[in-house]
Structure 1
């Protein structure tokens, strides 16, 4: 059985030309940094004519969106919107986004801790008033039964 497999494999490999799988990162001119940005890049040779094989360079400058400008201000890269140049390196925008992401996470962690303490405080006050979810639920169901009984009496008349 093993010898049959080997011969089949050998036979299959003789007649097929294997090429490595092409991934997105191996596409010419594609870079993860430029996938979501409007970046300026040159695809022409210095002589001005395009060769049959295009030469793609990684873009050096990107035009920041209004949201990117707000992030750059919030992270402290620039003092005002007027100071932000029309084109920026993509690394600066990425670094500002990462810093904003970390700041947002810290703010969310802080708000979660504050909310936990608020729930603890309100639960302690509810215990002092002898309130619980069970008592609220029983009172609500008793009210519904009363309303249903009144509706049934009104309908019977």
Structure 2
């Protein structure tokens, strides 16, 4: 036992007294027998934990996550840990609902795609139809401009002959 005390005192003079190195691993150990405190015993420690002012939306989050039964029961100040846990639970709930909605949306799209295939509709057919209608509009516009230019050219030629 005395050799351990000598080792601790020699280490404390040269190294960090809380760390003892043993075969390439560092293990935290105390050289003296310090008893850890049993936890917060006074009400002032509890008051320090209640350090987050809660707004209306956060009150609803605390109720939705089941921490309190109604919005009226939520105190004005809660601990930061309580608020973080409630936010994390809400994030998880929202993420789960979004995943479920994504799965339902995918199933709906698969169903509608199969129905469209039964009707003979396809993306490539829609693409061809769109290109045909676009080309028809372009041809019509081109013919309209050509007829306008021909008309203007005739009027210009008649005006030149008249002069």
TM-score (normalised: structure 1): 0.60
Distance 1:82 1:67 in 2: 13
Q: Which has more radius of gyration?
A: 2
Q: Which runs of 5+ in 2 are unaligned?
A: 1-46, 148-163
Distance 2:60 2:137 in 1: 55
Please report the RMSD computed on the Cα atoms of aligned residues, expressed in angstroms: 1.5
Query: Which portions of structure 1, spanning 4 or more consecutive aligned residues, are displaced by more than 3 angstroms?
Result: none
Distance 1:155 1:80 in 2: 72
Determine which structure has greater relative contact order: mean sequence separation of CA pairs < 8 Å that are 6+ residues apart, divided by chain length: 1
**Map 1:105-144 → 2, pairs under 5 A:** 105-144=95-134
Q: Residue 99 of structure 1 corresponds to which residue in structure 2?
A: 89
Counterpart pick for 1:154 among 124, 144, 152: 144
**Map 1:71-90 → 2, pairs under 5 A:** 71-90=61-80
Q: Which runs of 5+ in 1 are unaligned?
A: 1-57
TM-score (normalised: structure 2): 0.58
